[in-house]
Structure 1
Amino acid sequence: MFEVLVYLYENYWRPDACPEPKQLSRKLSAVGFEPEEIQDALRWLDGLASSAESVTGQPVPGSMRIYTDAEREVLDETAVGFIAFLESAGVLAAPLREMVIDRAVAAGGGPMALEDLKIIVLMVFWSLGEEPDALVLDELFVDPDDRIIH
């Protein structure tokens, strides 16, 4: 599923630039994606659109986000730390954080790989038609082992 999401990000500027689901499904199939991963990705994107509509509110100063057991099954210490890092850097406002957490839980499975969580963060920005700044893109795309220290 994550490969399909990356393909969509790379090939369509915004969700509204994507063709209708049936046509998009045919295009993705022609590119070589399996029907099951296409359907999983399209279902996940539908949930992303719903999540964008339903997430509201601002954090209360001094408040702390407590993760549920279901969220902790998907988001391990590294993932929670990464989300906290983005939030403390001012990149991920509380409503966006909630979208990221919602979509991570929707992806399911055991502890999520950090690379997959980064794709989810990217897709949340993409769904809103926002381009993260260059430093955020660097954090989302560049492997820390490949970084050059100046």
Structure 2
Amino acid sequence: MFDVLVFLYENYWRPDACPDHDQLSKKLTAVGFESEEIEDALSWLDGLADVAESHTGAQSERAMRVYSPAEQDHLGVGSIAFISFLESAGVLPPAMREIVVDRAMATPGAPLPLEDLKIIVLMVFWSLGEEPDALILDELFVDAEDRLIH
């Protein structure tokens, strides 16, 4: 599923640039993705669109997020820490954070690998038509072990 999401992010500059689900499924199949993987990704994207539509920026910027035990188990310490890092850096406002958490909880497997969470964050920005800051893009794309320390 995550490979399909990355493909969409890299090939369509915004969600409304994507063809309808039938055409997109055919294109993704032609590129080599499995039908189950395509179906999972498109279903996940439908959920993203629904959640993004229902969340408004009405939450206080000073609100503190307490994760439920189920969220803690599913997200894992690394993912929760990364979400907190993005919040403290000022790039993930509370409404977007809630979309990220919702979509992360909609993925199978626990704990969620940090690399998968990073893709979810990218897809949330993408779905809202926002481009993350260049430093945040670097954080989302470059693995820690691949970084050069100057």
TM-score for both structures, normalised by structure 1: 0.96
AA partner of residue 5 (structure 1): L
Q: Secondary structure at the match of 2:106?
A: helix
Q: Secondary structure at the match of 1:107?
A: coil
Partner in structure 2 of residue 129 of structure 1: 129
1:72 equivalent to 2:72? Answer yes
1:6 equivalent to 2:10? Answer no
Query: 1:59, CA displacement in angstroms?
Result: 2.3
In 1, the alpha carbon distance for the partners of 2:115 and 2:100 equals 13
Aligned runs of 1:100-115 on 2, under 5 Å? 100-115=100-115
1:58 equivalent to 2:59? Answer yes
Query: 1:108, CA displacement in angstroms?
Result: 2.6
AA partner of residue 23 (structure 1): Q
AA partner of residue 59 (structure 1): S
AA partner of residue 21 (structure 1): H
Partner in structure 2 of residue 29 of structure 1: 29
1:20 equivalent to 2:20? Answer yes
Whether the 8 Å CA contact 2:75–2:111 is kept in 1: the answer is yes
In 2, the alpha carbon distance for the partners of 1:53 and 1:131 equals 18
TM-score for both structures, normalised by structure 2: 0.96
Query: 1:64, CA displacement in angstroms?
Result: 1.8
Query: 1:24, CA displacement in angstroms?
Result: 0.2
Q: What is the RMSD computed on CA atoms of the aligned residues? A: 1.0
Q: Secondary structure at the match of 2:111?
A: coil
Query: 1:60, CA displacement in angstroms?
Result: 5.5
Whether the 8 Å CA contact 2:61–2:94 is kept in 1: the answer is no
In 2, the alpha carbon distance for the partners of 1:15 and 1:60 equals 27
Aligned structure 1 segments of 4 or more residues deviating by more than 3 angstroms: none
Of all paired residues, the percent bearing the same amino acid is: 68
1:49 equivalent to 2:49? Answer yes
Query: 1:116, CA displacement in angstroms?
Result: 0.2
1:147 equivalent to 2:147? Answer yes
**Structure 1: any 5+ residue segments left out of the alignment?**
none
Whether the 8 Å CA contact 2:76–2:110 is kept in 1: the answer is no
Query: 1:147, CA displacement in angstroms?
Result: 1.2
Partner in structure 1 of residue 118 of structure 2: 118
**Structure 2: any 5+ residue segments left out of the alignment?**
none
Query: 1:70, CA displacement in angstroms?
Result: 2.3
In 1, the alpha carbon distance for the partners of 2:37 and 2:148 equals 35
